[in-house]
């Protein structure tokens, strides 16, 4: 252990993860905290890290309030509808009322925005989306963060949060290691903002073997955003609300621009519109939610899944009509070149020219995240002026640990934030973190060297496991004493896939399967004490796996707790196939006791704040 040098930093605001939310937090922390010491720690390199690494073609969350295109209330209703009622409306409203100012800054910073030639407004792709030439999106927001931070640390994976030893349930910083040098880094900090993205690769992906690593969500998003706070004892919400995406097959290419801008549509193998065929069956399951407009994302998936299961697949996107228009053809290709180049390559390899062949669609494996058409994540305080007492405890976006904040995929309950909303939420969290410091809430924090040294031993244990046992095997990769990160990952994915509602079971699970899944996950956790890493890259893989495994336990506990099928098309509880508003029109909140590792779950009321406000105004 001595061979790994330890570096110490003390700071005021520590941002973990320099993706969209993390760059927003770093930028805003400087605005409010001119004299504070602000550090951002990133696992990759913030110039090209996170889900936006490759670029985007649209900013999916923009109100357009300056032109009265939409108001925050409209967005809250939209997100509520899409999530079958289950959102934190205080958080959604708060994000929506600020998101336009974020987008205007992106414009000022040089992000090429497409404009409507007639109106001069941003070019709309859909009601909420505006189109950009977004290959440079991430470097642009990274520059803002770089100019704001005292220091950006790239290539450091944060593995644990540090807790204050002077006052219970207060944050003290974080630790991690540098994947290139192997050095250990201790960041003692008055506040920590976790912005470490969502979780891919916890369910077995469709692309395995030669295609492994090809996923819809960023393959390097490994659930640290959840595992870090869960391990420290913070409460989580809606972790059962995993997302399944309908995407172009094998390349996971996005379909939004195709539906919204190119006006392409889907059909089954017989050339039929299949969605309406499933109306009565879906109504049986979810009641009037199927009549909502737009149809919730999960219910559209449901029709897709049922149609394929009934023998009428594959489902195709009809591109051959739109692609006859040279302008739309260009848009269709550029859409991939700006953010999912791999889809164009897959089509080339399969000899698909969408002008002449309608490409196949598929439903993806599930992902856990908090910023898309889904809202798993940490249970956070909302803003003072909007949140009911159950949702407010002092500082906006603060988790249930004092001084620990979250933003973007980290935060649960606030769906449909996307890139711009995640950056905005980072800004909101940073503003609150600075206020927390100004209010003297971070005085007298004590983090002993012992706490840091104990974590150091834990962090490097996979290297020790490998070093001690490597000579026991003379060939191959199977050791009697340790498992490799890839072996552990595949075991995790198999458990989640078969027991918790992945692709193999067509997203179906039930109470018995979930209980068995939890048992297998507990044994996996035991074996992860014996994960072996041969180098620093594998050490990162080992810690990614550990974070994924903890996130998975939380997902499984939540899925077991909610005894209904709230989102058919995301997953099914076979023993409770119907949506049950009488018993489950509520949010689920969990906490894992860091001492015992046991989860406890509770129901928390879901408040429909926006329409309550309207009703009050009317009366």
Closest CB to ligand FAD among 83 and 518? 83
> Each residue of 306-336: b (16+ CB within 10 Å) or e?
bbbeeebbebbbbbbebbeeeebbebbbbbb
Does residue 19 belong to the site contacting ligand FAD (CB under 6 A)? yes
Residue 128 and residue 140: Cα distance in Å, rounded?
Answer: 22
Contact 489, 219 (CB under 8 A): no
Instruction: By CB under 6 A, name the one of 158, 305, 452, 587 that touches ligand FAD.
Output: 158
Does residue 148 belong to the site contacting ligand FAD (CB under 6 A)? no
Closest CB to ligand FAD among 92 and 568? 92
Q: Cβ of 128: how many Cβ atoms within 10 Å? A: 26
Helix, strand, or coil here: 10?
strand
How many residues in the shown chain lie near ligand FAD by CB under 6 A? Answer: 40
Instruction: By CB under 6 A, name the one of 184, 187, 203, 220 that touches ligand FAD.
Output: 220
Between CA 219 and CA 228, with CA 224 as vertex, the angle to 5 degrees is 175
Contact 313, 307 (CB under 8 A): yes
Does residue 20 belong to the site contacting ligand FAD (CB under 6 A)? yes
- At 155, give phi and psi (nearest 5°): 65, 25
Query: What is the footprint of ligand FAD within residues 374-413 (CB under 6 A)?
Result: 408-409
Closest CB to ligand FAD among 243 and 503? 243
Closest CB to ligand FAD among 203 and 216? 216
Instruction: By CB under 6 A, name the one of 11, 16, 163, 539 that touches ligand FAD.
Output: 16
Closest CB to ligand FAD among 99 and 610? 99
Query: What is the footprint of ligand FAD within residues 408-437 (CB under 6 A)?
Result: 408-409, 418-420, 422
Instruction: By CB under 6 A, name the one of 26, 102, 178, 224 that touches ligand FAD.
Output: 224
Helix, strand, or coil here: 314?
coil
User: What DSSP line would sit under 104-173, residue for residue?
Assistant: HHHHHTT--B-B-TTT-SBPBSSSS-EEEEETTHHHHHHHHHHHH-SEEE-SEEEEEEEE-SSSTTBEEE
Segment near ligand FAD (CB under 6 A); pick from 50-58, 102-110, 382-390, 479-487: 50-58
- Within 8 A by CB and 6+ apart from 470, the residues are 479, 532, 534
Does residue 157 belong to the site contacting ligand FAD (CB under 6 A)? yes
Q: Cβ of 495: how many Cβ atoms within 10 Å? A: 25
Closest CB to ligand FAD among 145 and 579? 145
Residue 323 and residue 331: Cα distance in Å, rounded?
Answer: 9
Closest CB to ligand FAD among 36 and 407? 407
Does residue 18 belong to the site contacting ligand FAD (CB under 6 A)? yes
Nearest approach, Cβ of 313 to ligand FAD (angstroms)?
23
Closest CB to ligand FAD among 199 and 434? 199
Does residue 17 belong to the site contacting ligand FAD (CB under 6 A)? yes
Does residue 610 belong to the site contacting ligand FAD (CB under 6 A)? no
Helices (H) and strands (E) in the chain, counts: 17, 19
Contact 18, 26 (CB under 8 A): yes
- Within 8 A by CB and 6+ apart from 327, the residues are none
Nearest approach, Cβ of 12 to ligand FAD (angstroms)?
19
Segment near ligand FAD (CB under 6 A); pick from 32-40, 43-51, 377-385, 610-618: 43-51
Q: In 439-535, which residue ranges form alpha helices assigned H by DSSP?
A: 449-469, 485-499, 511-528
Interface positions with ligand FAD (CB under 6 A): 16-22, 41-44, 49-52, 56-60, 157-158, 195-197, 216-218, 220-221, 224, 254, 371-372, 408-409, 418-420, 422
């Amino acid at each position: 252990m001595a061979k790994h040098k330890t570096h110490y930093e003390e700071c005021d605001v520590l941002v973990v993860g320099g993706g969209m939310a993390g760059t927003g937090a770093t930028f805003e922390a400087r605005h409010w905290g001119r004299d504070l010491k602000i550090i951002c720690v990133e696992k990759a390199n913030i110039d090209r890290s996170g889900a936006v690494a490759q670029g985007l073609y649209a900013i999916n969350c923009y109100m357009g309030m300056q032109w009265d295109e939409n108001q925050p209330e409209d967005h809250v209703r939209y997100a509520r509808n899409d999530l079958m009622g289950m959102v934190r409306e205080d958080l959604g409203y708060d994000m929506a009322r600020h998101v336009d100012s974020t987008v205007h800054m992106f414009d000022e910073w040089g992000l090429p925005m497409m404009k409507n030639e007639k109106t001069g407004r941003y070019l709309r792709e859909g009601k909420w989306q505006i189109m950009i030439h977004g290959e440079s999106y991430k470097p642009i927001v990274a520059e803002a963060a770089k100019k704001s931070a005292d220091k950006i640390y790239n290539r450091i994976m944060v593995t644990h949060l540090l807790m204050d030893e002077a006052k219970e349930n207060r944050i003290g910083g974080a630790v991690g290691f540098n994947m290139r040098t192997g050095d250990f880094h201790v960041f003692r900090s008055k506040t920590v903002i976790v912005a470490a993205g969502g979780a891919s690769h916890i369910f077995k992906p469709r692309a395995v073997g030669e295609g492994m690593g090809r996923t819809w969500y960023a393959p390097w998003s490994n659930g640290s955003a959840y595992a870090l706070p869960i391990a420290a004892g913070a409460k989580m919400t809606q972790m059962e609300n995993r997302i399944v995406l309908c995407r172009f097959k094998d390349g996971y290419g996005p379909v939004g621009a195709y539906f919204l801008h190119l006006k392409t549509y889907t059909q089954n193998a017989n050339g039929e519109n299949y969605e309406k065929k499933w109306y009565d069956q879906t109504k049986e399951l979810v009641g009037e939610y199927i009549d909502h407009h737009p149809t919730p994302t999960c219910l559209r998936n449901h029709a897709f899944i049922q149609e394929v299961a009934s023998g009428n697949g594959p489902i195709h996107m009809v591109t051959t009509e739109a692609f006859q228009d040279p302008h739309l053809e260009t848009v269709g290709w550029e859409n991939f070149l700006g953010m999912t180049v791999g889809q164009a390559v897959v089509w080339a390899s399969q000899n698909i020219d969408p002008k002449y062949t309608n490409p196949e669609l598929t439903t993806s494996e599930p992902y856990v995240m908090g910023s898309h058409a889904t809202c798993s994540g940490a249970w956070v305080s909302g803003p003072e002026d909007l949140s009911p007492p159950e949702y407010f405890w002092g500082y906006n976006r603060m988790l249930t640990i004092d001084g620990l904040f979250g933003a973007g995929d980290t935060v649960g309950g606030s769906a449909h934030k996307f890139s711009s909303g995640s950056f905005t939420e980072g800004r909101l969290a940073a503003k609150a973190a600075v206020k927390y410091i100004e209010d003297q809430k971070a005085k007298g924090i004590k983090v002993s060297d012992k706490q840091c040294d104990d974590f150091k031993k834990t962090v490097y244990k996979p290297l020790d496991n490998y070093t001690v046992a490597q000579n026991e095997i003379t060939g191959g990769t199977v050791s009697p004493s340790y498992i490799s990160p890839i072996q552990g990952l595949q075991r995790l994915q198999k458990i989640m896939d078969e027991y918790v509602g992945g692709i193999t079971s067509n997203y179906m699970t039930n109470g018995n399967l979930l209980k068995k899944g939890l048992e297998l996950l507990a044994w996996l956790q035991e074996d992860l004490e014996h994960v072996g890493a041969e180098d620093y890259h594998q050490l990162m893989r080992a810690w990614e796996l550990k974070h994924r495994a903890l996130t998975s336990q939380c997902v499984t506990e939540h899925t077991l707790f909610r005894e209904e099928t709230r989102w058919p098309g995301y997953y099914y509880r076979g023993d409770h196939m119907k949506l049950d508003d009488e018993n489950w029109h509520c949010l689920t909140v969990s906490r894992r006791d860091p001492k015992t590792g046991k989860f406890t779950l509770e129901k928390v009321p879901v408040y429909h704040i926006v329409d309550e406000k309207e009703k009050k105004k009317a009366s």
